[in-house]
Structure 1
Amino acid sequence: MHKLFRPACMTAAVAGISSLLAFTGDISALKPKADTPKLATSIKVPQGFITTIVAEDLVGARHMVVSKSGDLYVKLSKLKDGKGVYRLRDANKDGVPEEVTSFGDYKGTGITIKDGYLYATSNSAIYRYKLNEKEEIINPDQPETIVTGMVDTGRDNSKSIALDDKGNIYVNIGSSNDACREAGTGKGMMPCTLLDTVGGIWRFKADVKNQTQKDGVRFATGLKNTVGLDWNRKTSSLFVLHHGRGQFHDFYPQYYTPKHSALLPSEAMYELHEGDDAGWPYIYYDHIQKKKMLAPEYGGDGKKTGGKNAINPVVGFPAHLGPNGMLFYTGNMFPARYKDGAFVAFHGQNSELKQGYFVAFVPFKNGKPSGQWEVFADNFAGIDLAKPSGPVQHRPCGLAQGPDGSLYVSDDMNGTIYRIAYNK
């Protein structure tokens, strides 16, 4: 029997479904006692918004997607009872999922729904599952294998995905090497041969089986690791969140102070088109100076600019915040100012700013950021980061939009799934 994680406020009337976690049959006939979702009163959101807890104990919950019927599919980076994808169904629409099923014997990050299929990734492959008209999986035990053999070094290896409207799937293939240094030296490799197989976005056909990495197109390069990405249908372009490298002061104290290392290099949002180069490892972005800077491995000293042919980010964030999820909001529940803007889930913290573990919002207008980014939902850490009194409790990772326009946030530390709604 599977050990059931705890949907928020689950009642005794539904506790007996733990034996039905695997796809063993339709349990929609169950009519559990209606319940009230648990309020997440510790999460700070703007006036008019309310946060509830959908589920708990889904440790390793990464990216998510919601079907048109409201089923929430969650991809796990750690197997739970041998499964890596969990489906949560709130059949009676009381805000508490009482139907839970699981499938897929692989761990990973990426998951999305497009054109009648659910796509999910391991750390080296992409699979897809046929859906019926209600976007329910028809045969969870027999997925189609779309891509295999993508580089997996065991670190910075999440295969986050997004699909366009022309039958293409885009996947992050990150680098576990921060700076592409020559072994035993502080000098960078020139050229950096890592870029042949990692450090960018690859594009594959979404409906062709058994592709390998060599069958894909390196769509964009110069991106160390981009866990968060989303296809913007307003601009018909891919947006990604780049994780900056680290350890400036550790390796180059003659150029960088500990404070420099705490604030730089920027985490950054890029809009990508085929052939774009964001410049890693040769350069980094400095959001304070708003300049592309030459990396110290390649002759930089914190003052020299570089990357003449590298694209500029559309937004620069402070270092080490770990942007892991991005979602362009297309719903109608939230106030109009949020329409078409980008939500960003930050998975880490900045020790200098004493800030982290929050969901931000970037306003957009005409396909471009139209103002300063702002903190939208905060205090997932559950502690004062300036004067911590204990361990961090939750780390935002994935974002998903419900058919009603609500926003779901996953926590990959303790496995809590939150739902943020606007109380009109």
Structure 2
Amino acid sequence: MKTILTTLAAVSLLAGTALAQTADLPDNLAKLGAFKTTGVTDFTVVEQTGPFADGIRKNLERIKLPDGFRIELYAVVPDARHMAVGPQGIVTFVGTRKTEVWAVTDRNKDRVADEVKNFAPSLTKAIPNGPCFTKDGFLIIAEQNRVLLYPAAEFFYESPDVVAVPIVPSGKLVPPDEESYNHTARVCKIGPDGKVYISLGQPFNVFAPEKMNLYTEQGIGGMIRMNTDGTDREVYTVGIRNSVGHDFHPVTGDLWFTDNQVDGMGDDIPPGELNHQTEAGQHFGFPWYGGGHVRTNEYKDSEPPADAVFPAVEMTAHAADLGMTFYSGKMFPEKYKNAIFSAQHGSWNRTTPVGARVMVTFIDDEGNATSEPFAEGWIDENDEYLGRPVDIAQLRDGSILVSDDLAGAIYRISYGQ
């Protein structure tokens, strides 16, 4: 408890400053930042048993995995998107593209969730897709156009009132005129430098040239980084269409990220991307390149950047590569150490569906990367989706979680159990 109180005391100055600068915030956010109650008492609790859960388990019997691995239902979580496992291993926070963040708890540690309920129900949220944890246990959630920090969320999530501080106030992540319903599922991760890295997808299939200067300046169609109190914001990556997954190599500290590429160019082009960034400011080709080395029609007569960085791996076209994580656990065989597990959400802009699987990418000592399917079978013989994986997270025991926003579930993949 002493550690928790110290954490809250340390953030109180930040809370006071944020409140002074954001008089237009909703009343409940202002109250929470000042450590006041809101009067909200009700949670939404998600049923974990019954026919719906049984149907998901039945579909999991179709999933193919390498020998020795197994997949099981971990939790029923509506609209489950990106995940952040608490440093204490108490709760996993799950974002959505709607209005809820879910708190998923396995109290008896049998590796099946006992309780799923909404987090901070007194707060109105807008596309709270991207949760991540700082190393000292602060939860950050990147929304459509706001970033909130929740100190000690892993300890106080049982209450409907949880301290929340805007490190990027509403309307300041992107200019309000650039808010969109498209490509606004933000993702955040903490880098080796302790800063928070947030992806900002640009809202178009291919944006018009007159947007170029604004987007480059703001980091739209790129990635930004800042201190965890919101200060020292800078653009770290440019030339991205819509990245919805990134992580840092455990040994080199380099940034790797997925990127979804241009639609409407045919079934088999352009390829999806897994990218490798080695320094700040690198340009990854969009909008001149629609994916890989494929030029876009809109910019085919315009000279691309001479220093454009091409993908480390070209993925299946339109498979929609989303969340990813480097594997650092001890449960899986040694070959998977420092490999990337990533989710392919599945295609919409294709005559025959592809994707809907978990990929694994191995990186050799020279940095060369090769990808292959790891878990697949969520597309049935009728070309219907039985699930659409979104993100990968690792539990403390070394197993991995896979979120699925179509089925509304989280799966657990383990080895040798």
Paired with 1:150 and 1:162, the residues of 2 have a C-alpha distance of 16
Paired with 1:238 and 1:333, the residues of 2 have a C-alpha distance of 24
Shift, 1:353, TM fit:
6.6
Shift, 1:73, TM fit:
1.5
Partner of 2:103: 87
| Structure 2 length-normalised TM | 0.78
Partner of 1:61: 80
Is 2:374 aligned against 1:376?
yes
More deviation, 268-277/398-407: 268-277
Q: Which amino acid aligns with 1:279?
A: G
Shift, 1:216, TM fit:
1.9
Partner of 1:393: 386
Shift, 1:231, TM fit:
2.0
Is 2:159 aligned against 1:136?
no
Residues 272 and 318, structure 2, Cα contact 8 Å, conserved in 1: yes
**Gap regions ≥5 residues in structure 2:** 1-41
More deviation, 86-95/335-344: 86-95
More deviation, 266-275/98-107: 98-107
Partner of 2:227: 205
2:408 to 408, 411, 415: 415
- Residue deviations 1:54-94, cap 9 Å, x none? 122x2221111222324222112223xxxx22222111122
Shift, 1:108, TM fit:
1.9
1:78 to 93, 98, 115: 98
Partner of 1:174: 201
Q: How does 1:81-120 map to 2 (within 5 A)?
A: 84-104=100-120, 105-106=124-125, 107-114=127-134, 115-120=136-141
Shift, 1:38, TM fit:
5.5
- Moved >4 Å (runs of 4+): 188-193, 304-307
Is 2:62 aligned against 1:42?
yes
Partner of 1:243: 260
Q: Which amino acid aligns with 1:117?
A: F
Shift, 1:367, TM fit:
7.2
RMSD: 2.6
Residues 142 and 198, structure 2, Cα contact 8 Å, conserved in 1: no
Q: Which amino acid aligns with 2:296?
A: A
Partner of 2:173: 150
Paired with 2:366 and 2:156, the residues of 1 have a C-alpha distance of 34
Q: How does 1:299-318 map to 2 (within 5 A)?
A: 299=300, 306-318=304-316
Q: Which has the higher strand share?
A: 1
SS in 1 for 2:332: coil
Shift, 1:354, TM fit:
4.6
Shift, 1:247, TM fit:
1.5
Paired with 1:266 and 1:97, the residues of 2 have a C-alpha distance of 36
CA 367–125 in structure 1, closer or farther in 2 if over 3 Å, else same: farther
1:340 to 315, 329, 338: 338
Over the matched positions of the two proteins, sequence identity in percent amounts to: 27
CA 305–73 in structure 1, closer or farther in 2 if over 3 Å, else same: same
- Residue deviations 1:277-321, cap 9 Å, x none? 1121122334xxxxx343222236xxx995421112111112211
SS in 1 for 2:298: helix
**Gap regions ≥5 residues in structure 1:** 11-36, 182-187, 249-260, 287-291
SS in 2 for 1:159: coil
Paired with 2:226 and 2:355, the residues of 1 have a C-alpha distance of 34
Residues 400 and 407, structure 1, Cα contact 8 Å, conserved in 2: yes
Shift, 1:246, TM fit:
1.5
Q: Which has the higher helix share?
A: 2
| Structure 1 length-normalised TM | 0.77
CA 72–342 in structure 1, closer or farther in 2 if over 3 Å, else same: same
SS in 2 for 1:268: strand
Q: Which amino acid aligns with 2:313?
A: V
Q: Which amino acid aligns with 2:80?
A: A
Paired with 1:46 and 1:4, the residues of 2 have a C-alpha distance of 35
Q: Which amino acid aligns with 2:183?
A: D
Residues 75 and 85, structure 1, Cα contact 8 Å, conserved in 2: yes
Q: How does 1:289-328 map to 2 (within 5 A)?
A: 292-299=293-300, 306-328=304-326
Shift, 1:190, TM fit:
8.9
Is 2:239 aligned against 1:218?
no
Paired with 2:399 and 2:376, the residues of 1 have a C-alpha distance of 17
CA 366–136 in structure 1, closer or farther in 2 if over 3 Å, else same: farther
